[in-house]
Each structure stands twice: as structure tokens, then as C-alpha cells.
Amino acid sequence: MKVTVDEDRCCGAGQCVLLAPDVFDQRDEDGIVVLLDPAPRPDLHEAVREAAEVCPAAAIEIAEGP
Amino acid sequence: MSAELFPMRRAPGCPFDPPPAARAKQEEGPLARVGLWDGSTPWLVTRHAEQRALMADPRVSADITRPGYPSSAPIPPGGTSISFILMDDPEHGRLRRMVTAPFATKRVQALRPAIQRIVDDLVDELLAGPNPVDLVDAFALPVPSLVICELLGVPYADHEYFQDSSKTIVKRDVSTEQRTAAMGKLMSYLDDLVGTKMEHPADDLLSGLATRVEAGELTRSEAAQMGVLLLIAGHETTANMIALGTLALFENPDQLALLRDSDDPTLVASAVEELLRYLNITHSGRRRVATADIPVGDQVIRAGEGLIMANDIANRDAEVFPDPDRLDLRRDARRHLAFGFGVHQCLGQQLARLELQVVYSTLYRRIPTLELATDLDKVPFKHDGAVYGVYELPVRW
């Protein structure tokens, strides 16, 4: 799995951090998404998929694969 | 045929359920014309999937000044002052980002011990005070008020003053003059406070805004507007979730017992999502206007037509939530639209979640015999509120 985030789209709702705190964080100055791990380990994949699904700004993209 | 007036009425004896007429529209299709106070006939968007898609659609605007915007009340001369929630990007994003950091998930989670202390102290006071008591005044309102005052840097000692104004602002049936006057009072209060923070900055959100005013990134009036927005949104909503949630749990004793007898944080978190899904205190819908033609099913929303996303019925959409009218604290309710969707989704949602988690996991465990001290049909519900809830909740233990 490869994860990318779009900082321009992000509205800082923080859902991704709630669901997958090891993969996502938010910038100190404006709360915009920070990608901590673009290639998360398999046991985090389900949480990352849910984070992308509930992101209100569609700012998380996932490419599934080895 | 004239379109049915929105908002619609709830059924007598069903204070937690959306109006039956709105549910009927949902069964008929994803879009239905409804009538507003001004004679306009915007679309009611009835289902979860379409609401979610439209709230995230860049062709859909939240700008209250656009022709066709389905305003819930007359817009006062000189415009409204509810800040960036009624604007589109890029202006919306520029302003929202100035206040997003203090509401970021990990920053909010760090407030848990402080919020737990506030809740514990208030429960101590409840137990030492009169019995029965009105839970709204003694607990539901003070919890979020103390938290948001701390975060913003608003003196809690002024709470009676600003709560009085904010109560007027969030009522449905006040005159434009009354609402404008209340808004003016709050604006000048916050404007003074921003001035104070410019002279004596502290470690709080308003001081952060005051710094931006001095740096020329924000006008003083924009800063005061944001303060008003965050102050109102920060306590009216959570207070109603606490009181109405407690009442819903009284009416569902098996669910109350589940919460009271568990110390599992996963169940508590799930209970918060389910109560958000079930209660829908923002029962006037999210208002938007289309800026282009948008096909939905076999219909087309035309550019310039108003849209009302009624989250109360979307959150009871059986396509997404099986057996939707059952309060089930164990269900996975995380796809609810109680906080809206799209770039306007609630900025304070992580703070609301945390406050509700602390409250729901503390109040009923510390006062296990807590119960309603009147009949359900004597509880005054906020049918006239922009935010739904109860005006009073007499409880005893």
C-alpha cells in the first residue's frame, strides 16, 4: 500500500489522525495533514482505508499493492 | 401543488426521531422540493450517499450571499457575521486554517486530563447540591462552557452574559432585530476581548488571533467574528448532546446500563458516535447552493438552486445504518453526518468527541441511580431551536 495526501485539499478535520495516528499527524501551525508513513505496515491498512473513506475533503489517496 | 414547509414537525411522543414527513420524502427519492419561510423552494437532499457526495462537491457553495442560498432566516441588513462557515474556498480555507491547530486531534487529546477534572468537579458539585436539579444548568452547559472558555481565553465569569446572547442567536423563532442585537452584543464583547489580548497576550486561541491582527493577516472584526463563531459552536452543541443524550439513555435503560457498567474506552467512543448519529441536534440541515447543473439520479439540480442536507434523516438511512431507529451503542456509526461533510465539516469535532467521551463515561458511573425527575412528555424540547435539545432536564438520584 502506498499513501499520498493532498495538503491543499485538507481541511484539518483530524479524522485520519483519530483512526491511524501512526500514519497521519497534523502540522503544529495550521492543523493540516502530515503523512508520517507513506508505506504503512499491513496491520494498519484497514484503518488507513477507513481514514481515506471518511476524510471529508478527499485528501487521502491510496494505491493498493505490495 | 405547493411544496411542504421546511423544517417539518416531529411526531408527538417521538422527540428523538426526525419528522415523519421528511422520512416519507426520503423513501420517495433522493431529492424533494420543500418550501421555506420566504416562499423559495429549494431541494431537500434526503439520503446519506447524495448528501455526502454533494457536501464534498466543488460545484456546491456554502456562500450565504449567493442568490438561491436557502437561508433559514432573513439576512439582516449589513449581512451576517458568522465567519468562514458561510464562505467558499479559498477565503474559507485561509480563515479556517488560522484556527485549526488548537482543534487538531492530538492537541485535543492532550486536554483529556483537564476535561476529566472539569467533569469530576462538576459531578462533585452536583452531588453536594440540591436533588432533584436541572441537569442543563448544573452540568450540561457548564462542561463545554468551561472547556471552550479555557481554550479561547474567554473569562468564564462572563458566561451568563454570552450564554444569554448565544441562546437568542440559536433560536429559530426570534425576530431578525432580536437576533441582530444579540449578535451585535457578542461581537462587541469579543472585539473588546481581542483588544485586551493584543495588549496582554496569553496562551490561548484569541491571543493567537490577536497576534494575526497585529501582523495584518486578519482584521479585528474578522477575529471577533471567529471568536463569536467558536464560542457559540463550542458550547451550544455539546451542551445539547449531553442533556439530550442523557435523556435518550434514560429512555433506553439497557443501553444506559451498558455504558455505566463498562470501562472499555472503545465502547465509550462507539457510544459517542452512535449518540451523534441518533440525536442530530443540528436539525435544520446544512444549507448550500448549486453553482452548476448537477445531475442526481434522473433529476438535475440547476445552477442557482438551493440545497438542504438534512443530516437527521441521512443518519437514519437504512441503506447505511441497518435498523436505523434503534439506539445501539455497539454499532459502527462512524459514517454518520452529524458533523457534516466536505471542507466545512465541524472544526471542533475532536473536542466534542472528547468532551462527550469524558461525560458519558463519568456521569452515570459516578451517579449510578441518576434518573429523570419528571415525565418524558413534560420535558421542554427545543423544537424552535437551530440546535435541538432540551431547555431543562430535571434529574434526581
pLDDT tens-place string over residues B49-90: 999 999 999 999 999 999 999 998 887 666 665 678 899 999
pLDDT at B19: 97
pLDDT at A12: 96
The CATH number for B164's domain is: 1.10.630.10
Distance CA B360, CA B248 (A): 12
Mean predicted confidence (pLDDT) in B222-251: 93
Strand A24-26 relative to strand A2-5, pairing: unpaired
pLDDT at B82: 63
Residue B93, chain A, CB below 8 Å: the answer is yes
E strand or H helix at B294, and its extent?
Answer: strand B294-296
Q: Is residue B224 exposed (0-12), middle (13-18) or buried (19+ Cβ within 10 Å)?
A: buried
Residue A46, chain B, CB below 8 Å: the answer is no
Domain membership flag for residue B177: yes
* Domain ranges, ordered by start, for chain A: 2-63
ipTM of the complex: 0.94
Q: Does the pLDDT at position B384 exceed 90?
A: no
- Report the domain count for chain B: 1
Distance CA B260, CA B368 (A): 7
Strand A2-5 relative to strand A60-63, pairing: antiparallel
Provide, rounded to the nearest whole percent, the portion of chain B with pLDDT above 90: 85
Domain membership flag for residue B7: no
The verdict on a CB contact (< 8 Å) between B342 and A13 is no
Domain membership flag for residue B15: no
Q: Which residues of B touch A11 (CB under 8 A)?
A: 93, 96, 100, 343-345
Q: Which of A12, A28, A56 sits opposite B341 (nearest CB)?
A: A56
Domain membership flag for residue B11: no
Q: CA torsion B54→B57→B63→B65, rounded to 10°?
A: -80
pLDDT at B169: 81
Nearest to B369 by CA among B143, B139, B126, B136: B126
Q: Which residues of B touch A14 (CB under 8 A)?
A: 103-105, 108, 349-350
Distance CA B51, CA B152 (A): 32
The grid coordinates listed for B260 are 455505566
Range of the domain at B193: 20-396
Q: How many residues does chain A have?
A: 66
Domain membership flag for residue B68: yes
- CATH 1.10.10.60 given to domain A2-63: no
Vertex B291 angle, CA B286 and B297, to 5°: 75
Backbone angles phi, psi at B114, to 5 degrees: -65, -40
Find out whether A24 and A35 touch, Cβ atoms under 8 Å: yes
B3 or B108: whose pLDDT is higher? Answer: B108
Mean predicted confidence (pLDDT) in B9-38: 96
Mean predicted confidence (pLDDT) in A10-32: 96
Q: Does the pLDDT at position A66 exceed 90?
A: no
pLDDT at B235: 85
Residue B342, chain A, CB below 8 Å: the answer is yes
Mean predicted confidence (pLDDT) in B187-199: 95
